[in-house]
Structure 1
Amino acid sequence: MYQRYQLNWHGRSTISSLINSSMTKAPHHVIRRLTVTGGFLGGAQLEFADGLNCLIGGRGAGKTTALEFVRFGLGLMPDPKASALRHRGIDTLVKSNLGGGRLDVELCTKKDMRYTATRGAHEAVQVLNEAGTPVAISLDRDQIFSADVFSQNEIEEIASSPKAQLELLDRFQEQETKAIDRELEQLQRDLMQSTADLRQVDQEAAEAHAKASELVMLREKLKGLVEVDGPDAARINAAHSTKGQRTREEKIPGVLRLAIEKLLREMVTAQGSFRAGVEAQLDAPLLTSANGALLSAIQAELGTFITEVAKDIESVQTKAQGLQARIQVHAATLAERHALQEAEYRNIVAASAEQGERAAERQDVQTSLNNAESAEKDEQGKQKQRAELLKTRSTLRKRASELRDQRFALRKKIAERLSAEFPSIRVAVEQSADLEGYQQFVEETLKGSGVRQGMVAERLCAVFLPEELAAVAAKDDLALFMRQTNFEEDRSRKILYALRNDGAYYDIETVALEDQPSIELLDGATFKDSTHLSTGQRCTTILPILLTQSERPLLIDQPEDNLDNAFVFQTVVRALKAIKGARQVIFVTHNPNIPVLGEAERVFVFSSDGQHSVLERVGTVDECRVQIENILEGGREAFLLRKERYGH
Structure 2
Amino acid sequence: MHVERVQVDGGFLDKLDIHFKPGLNVLIGARGTGKTSLIELIRFGLGAEAFTQDAAIRGNQQAKSVLQGGQVIITLRDGEDRWIVTRDERDEWPRSERPIPSVMVLAQSEIEAVGAQARGRLELIDRFRPDRAETDRRLNQNIATLRSLTSEIGGILAERSSILEQILRLKGVREENSNILAQQQDLLESIEATADQRKDVERLQHFAATLSVREGIYDRTLEKLRGSHEDLLKIEGGVREIEEWPSSAGETDLLTKVREKGIEASASLKKALGVIKDAGLEIDSLKRRNSVDRENAEERARTIRRELNELDVGAGELTRRANDLAERVAQLGVLEELEGDRLEKIAVLQKKRRLVFENVEKDRVTQFESRRDVATALKELLGPELRTKVIESGMTDEYTSILMSAFRGSRLHYNTLAPQIANQMSPLELVEAVESNNVQAVTEAVEIDSNRAASVTAHLQSRNLSDLISAPIDDAVDLFLLDGVDYKKTDNLSIGQRCTVVLPFLLSSHGELLVIDQPEDHLDNAFITGTLIESLRARSKDSQFIFASHNANIPVLGEADLVVRLDSDGRRGFVQHSGILSEQETAQAITSLMEGGAEAFKRRAKFYESVLEVESG
TM-score, length basis structure 1: 0.73
Once residues 458 and 394 of structure 1 are traced to their aligned partners in structure 2, the CA distance between those partners, rounded to angstroms, is 27
What's 1:466 paired with? 427
Q: Deviations over 1:329-361 (max 9, x none)?
A: xx99x98xx99xx99x989xx9xxxx9879976
What's 1:186 paired with? 144
What's 1:388 paired with? 345
What's 2:604 paired with? 638
- Call closer, same or farther: CA 1:103–1:375 in 2, change over 3 Å: same
What's 2:117 paired with? 161
SS class of match (1:575): helix
What's 1:112 paired with? 80
What's 1:522 paired with? 481
Letter in 1 for 2:478: I
1:175 aligns with 2:136: no
Once residues 413 and 377 of structure 2 are traced to their aligned partners in structure 1, the CA distance between those partners, rounded to angstroms, is 45
Contact 1:159–1:542 (CA under 8 A) maintained in structure 2: yes
Letter in 2 for 1:459: Q
SS class of match (2:508): coil
Give me the CA root mean square deviation. Answer: 4.9
**Alignment counterpart, residue 441 of structure 1, candidates 402, 407, 417:** 402
Q: Deviations over 1:175-218 (max 9, x none)?
A: 32552365246325513531441243123222232133225753
Correspondences of 1:372-451 after superposition (within 5 Å): 372=329, 374-422=331-379, 423=383, 424-451=385-412
Correspondences of 1:234-383 after superposition (within 5 Å): 247-253=205-211, 255-256=213-214, 259=217, 263=221, 274=232, 278=236, 297=260, 301=264, 305=268, 364=321, 368=325, 371-372=328-329, 374-383=331-340
Offset at residue 152 of structure 1 (A): 0.8
Offset at residue 32 of structure 1 (A): 1.6
SS class of match (2:96): coil
Once residues 345 and 479 of structure 2 are traced to their aligned partners in structure 1, the CA distance between those partners, rounded to angstroms, is 47
Contact 1:222–1:366 (CA under 8 A) maintained in structure 2: no
What's 2:40 paired with? 68
Letter in 1 for 2:80: D
Letter in 1 for 2:505: I
1:538 aligns with 2:506: no
Q: Deviations over 1:145-174 (max 9, x none)?
A: 453211112111111222333444444455
Q: Deviations over 1:438-490 (max 9, x none)?
A: 33333344445433232333333333333333444455455555455554555
- Call closer, same or farther: CA 1:175–1:112 in 2, change over 3 Å: farther
1:628 aligns with 2:590: yes
What's 1:59 paired with? 31
Offset at residue 70 of structure 1 (A): 2.7
Contact 1:554–1:584 (CA under 8 A) maintained in structure 2: yes
- Call closer, same or farther: CA 1:126–1:164 in 2, change over 3 Å: closer
Offset at residue 433 of structure 1 (A): 3.6
What's 1:20 paired with? none
SS class of match (1:124): coil
1:197 aligns with 2:176: no
Q: Which runs of 5+ in 1 are unaligned?
A: 1-28, 128-136
Q: Which runs of 5+ in 2 are unaligned?
A: 248-252
Once residues 203 and 510 of structure 2 are traced to their aligned partners in structure 1, the CA distance between those partners, rounded to angstroms, is 76
Q: Deviations over 1:35-67 (max 9, x none)?
A: 345544445432212111112233334322232
Letter in 2 for 1:161: Q
Offset at residue 300 of structure 1 (A): 6.2
Contact 1:195–1:507 (CA under 8 A) maintained in structure 2: no
Q: Deviations over 1:300-354 (max 9, x none)?
A: 64686478658967997999899999999xx99x98xx99xx99x989xx9xxxx
Once residues 314 and 221 of structure 1 are traced to their aligned partners in structure 2, the CA distance between those partners, rounded to angstroms, is 45
Q: Deviations over 1:211-257 (max 9, x none)?
A: 332257537857996999xx99xxx9xx9999779734532245336
Once residues 511 and 302 of structure 1 are traced to their aligned partners in structure 2, the CA distance between those partners, rounded to angstroms, is 31
Contact 1:55–1:604 (CA under 8 A) maintained in structure 2: yes
What's 1:132 paired with? none
- Call closer, same or farther: CA 1:534–1:44 in 2, change over 3 Å: same
Once residues 246 and 71 of structure 2 are traced to their aligned partners in structure 1, the CA distance between those partners, rounded to angstroms, is 25
SS class of match (1:32): strand
Contact 1:104–1:119 (CA under 8 A) maintained in structure 2: yes
Contact 1:52–1:576 (CA under 8 A) maintained in structure 2: yes
Contact 1:204–1:382 (CA under 8 A) maintained in structure 2: no
Offset at residue 497 of structure 1 (A): 3.5
SS class of match (2:488): strand
Contact 1:39–1:99 (CA under 8 A) maintained in structure 2: yes
What's 2:18 paired with? 46
- Call closer, same or farther: CA 1:294–1:226 in 2, change over 3 Å: closer
- Call closer, same or farther: CA 1:246–1:443 in 2, change over 3 Å: farther
What's 2:250 paired with? none
What's 1:124 paired with? 91
Once residues 113 and 105 of structure 2 are traced to their aligned partners in structure 1, the CA distance between those partners, rounded to angstroms, is 13
- Call closer, same or farther: CA 1:452–1:509 in 2, change over 3 Å: closer
Once residues 174 and 266 of structure 2 are traced to their aligned partners in structure 1, the CA distance between those partners, rounded to angstroms, is 57
Contact 1:568–1:593 (CA under 8 A) maintained in structure 2: yes
Letter in 2 for 1:158: V
- Call closer, same or farther: CA 1:260–1:495 in 2, change over 3 Å: closer
SS class of match (1:547): helix
